[in-house]
Amino acid sequence: MKTLRLRLVILVILLLGAAFSVYAASREDRGGILTVAFLDIGQGDAIFIDAPSGNQMLIDGGPGKSVLRELSKVMPFYDRSIDVVIATHADQDHVGGLPNVLKNYKVNIFMEPGLSGPSSSYEELEKMVGNNKSNIKKILARRGMVVDLGDGAILQILFPVIDSPGTNTNMSSIVAKLVYGENEFMLTGDSPIAIEDYLVSLGGLQSDVLKAGHHGSKTSSSDEFVRAVAPQHTVISAGKNNRYTHPHQEVLDILNNFGIKILRTDELGIIVFKSDGTNLKLK
C-alpha cells in the first residue's frame, strides 16, 4: 500500500511539473508584443519594459518596497531576473526601491548618469552594484548609446551628453527613447525645461507616448517640448494627494491644449501599453 501511495505522489508531482512547464512556456511567448508598464509606486517613477524577445528592463524603482508588489503584477512569479536596471538619477523617489530589486532579482546590467545624490538608498545601491560578487555590469549612460532589447526593440539614450559638471541630480537625469517598429515612448526622468530645450534643438523627439518629466511638475513639460514630442498619450507618475501637488495645473493645461490624452497613476493605478510594432494599445 505504501508503494502505491508513493507512486501516486510521484505521479502527481510529475503532472504538476508538466503543467507548470506548459504554463511557463505560454507565459514566455510574447507573440511579438512589447509591453511597457508604468507602475503605481506612489510619488516616484518605475517603468517596466518586457521586450518581444523576452528581455526585460526596469527604469527607476520608486521610493521604496512598493516596486516589488508592482513587479509581481507584471512578471510571472517564477521569473526572478531583470536584464537591465536603469536609475535615471539619484533621487530617493527614483532609486529608493532599487536595492530591494537587486536583493530579489538577478540583474545583469545597471545604468545610471554617474552623478551621486544625498539618498541613502543610492549609497546602498552603489555598494551593491560595486560588489564584485554581484556580477552586475555598470554602465554610465551617455547620448548615442543604444540598448538592444532584441527582436527590433531598442532604447536610445538621448541625455546626458557628458559628465554632469554640477550637483543638480535632475539636470543629469537620463532621457531615453524606447522604439519598437512604428511605436515610440519618450521617457524623461525628472529632466527640467533647460534640458528639454536642448533636446528640442537637436530634434528627433516625436513619440506616441510621453512620460511627463518630474511627475507633472511645472519645471518640466514645456509647451515647446510637448509640441516637439507630439504624443498621443502622456503618462504622469505621481502619488495620490502628494505634498508637491503634482501634477501642476500649468502642465495639465499645456497637455489639454494639445489635445493629448492624460493618464495618471494616482488616478488609474498601473498603466500598461502593448505594441506589436504598428498598433499601440492601452491595456
Give the CB-side neighbour count of residue 48, counting CA atoms within 13 A: 24
Residue 46 · residue 59 · CB < 8 Å: yes
Task: Please report where in the chains the cell 539636470 appears, as a residue.
Answer: 171
pTM for the complete prediction?
0.90
Is the predicted pLDDT of residue 136 greater than 80, yes or no? yes
Among 80-94, 154-168, 261-275, which is the least confidently predicted range? 154-168
What is the per-residue pLDDT across 54-76, written as a single tens digit (0 to 9) for each? 999 999 999 999 999 999 999 99
Cα(62)–Cα(191) distance, integer angstroms = 16
| Residue pLDDT, tens place only, 101-133 | 999 999 999 999 998 888 889 999 999 999 878
DSSP state of 42: S
Handedness of CA 240, 246, 250, 255 (dihedral sign): negative
Q: Name the average pLDDT for the chain.
A: 90
